[in-house]
Structures are given as C-alpha cells and as structure tokens.
Amino acid sequence: MRSAFVATLLFITCAGFAGKKDLRSPQKFRLERSYAIKNKSATEALAMRVFIPDVISYQNARVLQSEYSIQPMEKKTLPNGTEQLTFDLELAPAEEKNIHLQWHIELRGFNATAAPGAAELSGADRERYLKPGKYFESDNAEIAKKTGDIVAGQPNDLQKARAIFEFVRAHVAYERFGADIKGALYALKNRKGDCTEYAALIVAMSRAAGIPARLNGVMNLQNDNGSAGTDNHNHAEVYLADYGWVPAEATFKILEFGEMHNAEIIVRRGLWTDTGTGWVSWSIPKKSDKIKEIKLLGHRWQKLD
C-alpha cells in the first residue's frame, strides 16, 4: 500500500506529536488530489466512466467547500458512508485529461465517546466487520486467547474496546516497515510495527471480542512537506452501539481511546475489508482496456490562516 516515500512520511507523522500541546483547536486546510487519465491509442477514441471517493464531513472533519475541475455526473453514498463521485469522460486519440479535486476543510480535536447517542449498524455491515481477514487474523488461536484474557471481566463493549486499545498501545513498539504490511498476528508476536500494525491488531482483537472494527486510510496534515503519494497514515475504528464508529488511534501515544487530533482526516474507510475503497476505479468496454492509463498524481495540502 505504501511507497518508500509515504513510509518515510509515516515515520515522521506517527512519531511527530510528542511535545505538541494544542491538538484540539480548529484548524483550516486546503487539501488537493489529482488524477491523470490518458488514451494511449493514436487512432481510437476512448469512453470511460471513472469512480473517485470524495472527501466528506466525518468525525473530526468538516468540509467547508468542494471544487472539482470536471463536474461529476453523479454523487452516490456507498454502504460504508463513503461518497463516490462518478465522471463520464470522452477522450480523443492520444488525449489526456486531468481531474483535480480540492477541499477546504476544518479539523478539530474530537472524542467520539464524549456524547453517547444510539447508532445502528446493518446486519450485512456487522457481518463484514466481524470477519477475519488477511491482515486481521481474528480467528487465530493466539489472538483469540490473548483477546479473551484482555476483555475478561469487562462489563460492556466500550470497556472491552478500551482495554484492547490500551493493550495494543502498550504492547507494540513503533518500527517503520515501509511498504511491507505485516498485519495483526505479526504485531502480537513480535511486539513491533508501524501505524498499520497498530491498527490491524486493534481490528483483529476487536473482531475476536465480537466488536465490529475496520482499518481506515488517514491523511496526516502535519510535520512533513505538504504532499504525499497516498494516505500517509492508518488507524482503527470500532463500532459501539451507544456511540457509532469510534476512532482507536493507538500510534500517537498522547491520544486516548476515541480521540482524533486537529491535523488528521479520514479519507478511506474499511481498507482490505470493503470493496471499492481504492482511490479510483472505472468502467470501460473490455476492448478498450489496453488503451487506458490512469494515474493518481498524489495529494497536496496547505494550512490556511
């Protein structure tokens, strides 16, 4: 998932909050994402339908303004809450078009457990977020046993989830792995990992405890040069009936269960669990597949006054 460049950002961002005092006050940013779509044929025209996830108000983030260089044909909300933009493109032979998306956003410190409120999760989503997966080995005997020990005696899902969070935060030491994703079982056995392993272990243990959980792609807009090839951070969310989706941001040791800070934004939900969580997908006639070229040109952001 992560390039070496993004892995370097992960090390900087995941380790960069010691000594930061104000993680709650609202901050405004401009966030940009760009794609290049090219027709590689010198003779054939190309028609393509492109699907791109939008950035929307969620958890600690409020979108103040959205701008698209090409207007989407449709906006559709997916089951996991992602809003998907649909673009219909007609490209002449050898033509290239760029789609540039820009958002003005306000980020603030946030704690999802501060105000209880009933929240529903569909049966299909509950099943989806309880299943074991490639990096979430919740059916592994060692993970199941350790989880049982951690949650024993906890009176409800909130306390179970918090106990799992506290265990992972204390158990795993940060080590940068770059593009190599190790997953939950590795993190439990070896007691090390980067933000992906912290999140994967929380997801696996939560699922083993019967608590729906997912791993998200996050942009951390602090302590780097204002650009990244893709999302530069991962964290976990757990579902609690009295609160809805609750962040479990264990990599940053100064954040408590349920908290997010004022320089991070969730941009992809349910990685490796949901379908359609990539940055871009498309529909195209099979005969034209070899002449299409789609590139994510990356992200840029700037803090606004």
The pLDDT of residue 9 is 38
The pLDDT of residue 5 is 31
CA angle 273, 78, 103 (to 5 degrees): 100
Residue indicated by tokens 């540039």? 100
Angstrom distance (rounded) from CA 136 to CA 208: 10
pLDDT digits (tens, 9 = 90+) for 29-55: 999 999 999 999 999 999 999 999 999
What's the rounded mean pLDDT across residues 171-188? 91
Please tell me whether the overall predicted TM-score, pTM, comes out greater than 0.75 for this model: yes
The pLDDT of residue 224 is 60
167 has pLDDT over 70: yes
What does the block give as tokens for 146?
A: 């350790």
Task: Residue 65: count other Cβ atoms within 10 Å of its Cβ.
Answer: 9
CA angle 76, 295, 93 (to 5 degrees): 95
Domains of the chain: 4-304 (3.10.620.30)
- Looking at residue 165, its amino acid is F
Residue 144 — very low, low, confident or very high, per pLDDT cuts 50/70/90?
very high
6 has pLDDT over 50: no
pLDDT digits (tens, 9 = 90+) for 241-281: 999 999 999 998 899 999 999 999 999 999 999 988 899 99
CA angle 274, 277, 278 (to 5 degrees): 140
Quote the percentage of the chain above a pLDDT of 70: 92
The pLDDT of residue 223 is 63
Residue 117 — very low, low, confident or very high, per pLDDT cuts 50/70/90?
confident
What's the rounded mean pLDDT across residues 183-209? 97
Q: 154 vs 10, 148, 187, 188, 224, CA distance in Å? A: 33, 10, 23, 21, 40
What does the block give as tokens for 293?
A: 């070229």
Task: Residue 75: count other Cβ atoms within 10 Å of its Cβ.
Answer: 12
Residue 177 — very low, low, confident or very high, per pLDDT cuts 50/70/90?
confident
Q: For residue 246, which phi and psi values (nearest 5 degrees)?
A: -120, 125
How do beta strands 192-193 and 173-174 pair?
Answer: parallel
pLDDT digits (tens, 9 = 90+) for 203-248: 999 999 999 999 999 999 986 679 999 899 999 999 999 999 999 9
The pLDDT of residue 253 is 87
179 has pLDDT over 90: no
Q: 153 vs 147, 159, 193, CA distance in Å? A: 12, 9, 28
Residue 246 makes CB contacts below 8 A (sequence gap 6+) with: 112, 113, 161, 237, 238, 239, 240, 257, 258
Contact 9, 216 (CB under 8 A): no
pLDDT digits (tens, 9 = 90+) for 70-112: 999 999 999 889 999 999 999 999 999 999 999 999 999 999 9
Angstrom distance (rounded) from CA 284 to CA 47: 7
Contact 299, 228 (CB under 8 A): yes
Buried b (16+ CB within 10 A) or exposed e, 130-168: bebbebbbbebeebbebbeebbeeeeebbebbbbbbebb
The pLDDT of residue 10 is 43
Contact 179, 196 (CB under 8 A): no
The pLDDT of residue 8 is 36
Q: Is 270 left (phi over 0), alpha (psi -120 to 50) or beta?
A: left
pLDDT digits (tens, 9 = 90+) for 282-305: 999 888 999 999 999 999 999 997
